[in-house]
Amino acid sequence: MEIKYDVCGVGNAIVDVIAPASDEFLQKNSITKGAMTLLFDEGQVEKLYATMSAGKMVSGGSAANTMAGIASLGGKAAYIGKVAYDTLGSYFIEEINEIGVAFNTEPLEDGPSTARCLINVTPDGQRSMCTYLGCSPLMSETDLDEAKIGASKIVFLEGYLFDREEAKLAFVKAAEFAKKYNRLTALTLSDIFCVERHKESFRNLVENHIDILFANENEILALYDTDDFEVALQYARGDCEMVCLTRSEHGSVLARGDELVRVPAIPIEKVVDTTGAGDLYAAGVLYGVASGRELEACGKLGSLCAYEIISHYGPRPEQSLANMAKQREL
């Protein structure tokens, strides 16, 4: 099959609402700082939204943010996710296609509304997310586009989607499609709470279906039940051909086969908002892999994309990542 895309993302299709907030606001509304909290009551979501400061709205979700990064780098990206036939769903479809990401998954006609994530950002740059998943977890194997996956060099799976059995089956099916066409399958663990909820399933997926694994330090330690980063790294290298682990201001560690590199974070004067930092790091690395770059160059691209995203509010690049990479000769 002809390759049309560098990466095809599979994840929760969510409209993000991002606004500044104080620590007192988080405490008053029982929001866990720096974490993602699931909300199950649409009325509760509406009430919280009404009390938030004025913010910006963007089509989001972790894998969707990564695909936006791929597009900004000059790559070709596609996306598979579930929205509803409603106003937010229409906004998501229009906005993500406008930025150059191919998205045409059939919307849900009857059922929950389109997912949304209310992101409150404190002055220290920490993002605290309250997410109503709506119809997004209802994505199943039937929503997978085999042709789109087969036409992509890499299929990228978002760990946040892993809460329902249907989604777990869809992940395995997506990996099987990728293998059928000799493509790569990548996974991001997404969140330590996702790992704790689904540790056994994640381990099985990583060991048997994943070529490229993304995680931050806490997530990889949780996955392998250890408090030693180097031990977790070795476990991950045993399971996957390529491992990409982020360590906040300490940069990242990438391993592929017998090769291992440690890439420093790019110094930044002020961290404004960490929303999407891991998503955009993945964009840089995945684009590096898809374009045949060396391992260290992949890591540096990831660091550059994360650097851009934490310098402003929101999970989407405000500068051309392609231009930034060119200026730094990456």
Position 313 scores a pLDDT of: 79
Asked if residue 159 lies in contact with residue 152, where contact means CB atoms within 8 angstroms, the answer is: no
pLDDT interval class at 45 (50, 70, 90):
confident
Position 105 scores a pLDDT of: 94
Local structure of residue 266 (DSSP, 8 states): P
Please list the alpha-helical segments (H only) found in the chain: 23-28, 42-51, 62-72, 87-98, 146-150, 165-180, 192-197, 199-209, 217-223, 229-239, 277-290, 295-309, 321-327
Phi, psi of 266 (to 5 degrees): -80, 125
E strand or H helix that includes residue 184: strand 184-188
Q: Which residues contact 238 (CB under 8 A, 6 or more apart)?
A: none
- pLDDT, tens digit, 9 for 90 and up, residues 254-288: 999 999 999 999 999 888 888 889 999 999 999 99
Tokens of residue 15, six digits: 């409209």
Q: What is the mean pLDDT of residues 299-310?
A: 96
Higher pLDDT, 29 or 167: 29
Position 16 scores a pLDDT of: 86
Give the distance, in angstroms, between the CA of residue 217 and the centroid of all CA atoms in the same chain: 16
Q: What is the mean pLDDT of residues 102-124?
A: 92
Question: How many C-beta atoms lie closer than 10 Å to residue 292's C-beta?
Answer: 9
**Residue 220 and residue 113: Cα distance in Å, rounded?**
33
- Residue closest to 213 by CA, chosen among 191, 231, 239: 239
Position 65 scores a pLDDT of: 95
Q: Which residues contact 27 (CB under 8 A, 6 or more apart)?
A: none
Q: What is the mean pLDDT of residues 156-180?
A: 90
Output the pTM of the full model.
Answer: 0.90
- pLDDT, tens digit, 9 for 90 and up, residues 93-109: 999 999 999 999 999 99
Does the pLDDT value for residue 305 go beyond 90?
A: yes
Tokens of residue 319, six digits: 């500068």
Q: What is the mean pLDDT of residues 237-254?
A: 96
